[in-house]
Amino acid sequence: MNRSEKIRNLIKDLTTGLYERDEVMKLALLAAVSGESLFLLGPPGVGKSMVARRLKYAFKDAQSFEYLMTRFSTPEEVFGPVSIKKLKEEDKYERKTEQYMPGANIVFLDEIWKSSSSIQNTLLTIINEKVYRNGEQEFPVDLKGLITASNELPPEGENFGPLYDRLLLRYHLHEIKDEQVFLKMITQTEEVYSDPVAEEHKISAGDLSEWQEHIDAVRVEDEVLSLIRIIRDKLQEYNKKQDNPSLEIKVFDRRWKKIIRLLRTSAFLNGRDKVDLMDCFLMRHALWNQPQQIEVIEEILAETIRKHGYSIAVGLPMLRKEIREFAEEVDQEVRIKIARTEEVLRPVEEEYYELQKNGASFAGKYLTVKDYNKLQHSEVPVLNLYDDEFKLVSRLSAERTDAPFAIRLKHNAQIHQLQLRTYQKERYDYHFKPPHPLVRNYWEERHEKLEAYLQKQLARLEKEKPAELQRGSEHLFIDEGLFPIVEANHSEVEEALKSLQLQLEKTQHAYDRQLN
């Protein structure tokens, strides 16, 4: 059983008997393997504690610790009581931590924002450094997964910012929405707190230790880094538009570094040695500070991946610019532009021509463009004439003349030779000249390099398509409904490269035809 298959089976086991909780369960597992923490926001009774209890079963011989914070919670209740024996016999202030948070692998802290400052400070050290200071010594903690929860966001003005910032993944947990799923849940009789994971699917301490080095080796390609840069810029643009600073989406450097680690873990567990665009959708769970920002972040992510994605990977913007400049350079060298003026008809409101006699308006009369075109190609004995308000005023017989833009019109028993109003329009004629042989040789080398690069990128897109796209809809942690966004960008980039190939071919033809 390979790694990704094992994780897929593990996820299936973990979500057995759960309803509308697959995504949060997957995120909890991903957070634990990547060494990050998860904050669950939601009302009481939606299964926040159940996620943590299920997560324990993903690991072999895992020890768990669960605690509900109150305003009166003390460090002893979370980190263990002071050892009286050590204090009396050795005069050392140490805690008995075995059955408390420092001795646990999976920890669930409910109502986290009710914790005291002393508990918060110790938590920061454990989260940051994975160590616990017990008396005079520091001990490493084998904390695999920290899940915190609350039915509210951290209250302002109480200095919870540092702790909230270190909880990388955030998930807004709602009650079950689908009515049929809800009815299945409330009539379920199976025990949801028992261990549902097969022993061969559990992650051992040896697995987890070995995986960490491989996770650090996962490549983060330029397209992902450029995508993050664009998303970061878009968040800054969004923040500038907010009148209230509390509505800003603030993401600082440490958080971005943690996000990279999360993406690497996702790629590794999916059986890849590099991060791809599907992994990037995980950022929607790591960027928001308030629930109302979730939709904004999802839109930014989807738009950025849809528009830029693979175009960054192949350097499409710079490639477009270089091919355009190449075409302009060739055009300026081989084409000589000669300006001339030409007399053309001036339509009025796009539907009429104004009649003139001896350079002046003929009684404010107009005929339609359609009538004039008929007169140009066949004998039309009658024309409809209109006044300045474009109302039909008369129907008069007419005939063509040999003069350009002129007609003969019978009006009040008189024959009038009339001219349609025109204006002088500047047009250009082009003459071509062959380029100097040295210039042509330089262009040919440039053309060959650009064509080779285009071929290479097209081949790369086709070659990598099975790995990044065909398997994209089977991503372990991302909803397959997001897959079409990546697929559409891939197709558009492929078409754009083929279009650039055609432009390059036209540019080559522009200087090659002068040799014939």
Res. 68 pLDDT band, cuts 50 70 90: very high
Beta-bridge partner residues of 345: 422
How far does Cα 39 stand from its chain's mean position? 23
Q: Are 3 and 271 in contact (CB under 8 A)?
A: yes
Q: Which residue has the higher pLDDT, 410 or 199?
A: 199
Per-residue pLDDT tens for 26-55?
999 999 999 999 999 999 989 899 999 999
Per-residue pLDDT tens for 208-218?
999 999 999 99
The mean predicted confidence, pLDDT, of the chain is: 87
Residue 91: predicted pLDDT? 66
Residue 128: predicted pLDDT? 85
- pLDDT, average across residues 486-503: 85
Res. 378 pLDDT band, cuts 50 70 90: low
Q: Which CATH number fits domain 1-212: 3.90.1150.10, 1.10.3720.10, 3.40.50.300, 1.10.3470.10?
A: 3.40.50.300
The percent of residues above 70 in pLDDT, for the chain, comes to 95
Res. 310 pLDDT band, cuts 50 70 90: confident
DSSP state of 60: T
Helix ranges (H only) for 35-71 are: 48-56
Residue 469: predicted pLDDT? 59
Domain ranges of the chain: 1-212, 311-337+430-515, 347-420
Res. 219 pLDDT band, cuts 50 70 90: very high
Res. 108 pLDDT band, cuts 50 70 90: very high
Res. 433 pLDDT band, cuts 50 70 90: confident
> From residue 332, how far is each of 335, 434, 510 by CA, in Å?
6, 12, 11
Angle 437-465/483-512 helices, nearest 10 degrees?
A: 160
User: Has residue 514 got a pLDDT over 60?
Assistant: no
- Least confident stretch, 92-101, 119-128, 248-257: 92-101
- CA-based nearest residue to 367, from 313, 318, 421: 421
pTM score: 0.72
Q: How far apart are CA 16 and CA 428, in angstroms?
A: 74
- pLDDT, average across residues 388-403: 83
Residue 466: predicted pLDDT? 46
- pLDDT, average across residues 370-379: 77
- pLDDT, average across residues 232-244: 92
User: Has residue 146 got a pLDDT over 70?
Assistant: yes
Burial of residue 462 (CB within 10 Å: 0-12, 13-18, 19+) is: exposed
- 408 contact partners, CB below 8 Å, separation of at least 6: 398, 399, 400, 401, 415, 416, 417, 418
Res. 2 pLDDT band, cuts 50 70 90: confident
Ranked by mean pLDDT, the top range of 132-136, 182-186, 190-194 is 182-186
Q: Are 62 and 106 in contact (CB under 8 A)?
A: yes
Which residue, chain included where needed, has tokens 């007609």?
Answer: 407
Q: How far apart are CA 214 and CA 476, in angstroms?
A: 18
Residue 173: predicted pLDDT? 92
User: Has residue 22 got a pLDDT over 80?
Assistant: yes
Res. 115 pLDDT band, cuts 50 70 90: very high
Res. 314 pLDDT band, cuts 50 70 90: confident
Angle 48-56/22-34 helices, nearest 10 degrees?
A: 50
How far does Cα 314 stand from its chain's mean position? 17
Res. 156 pLDDT band, cuts 50 70 90: confident
Residue 467: predicted pLDDT? 54
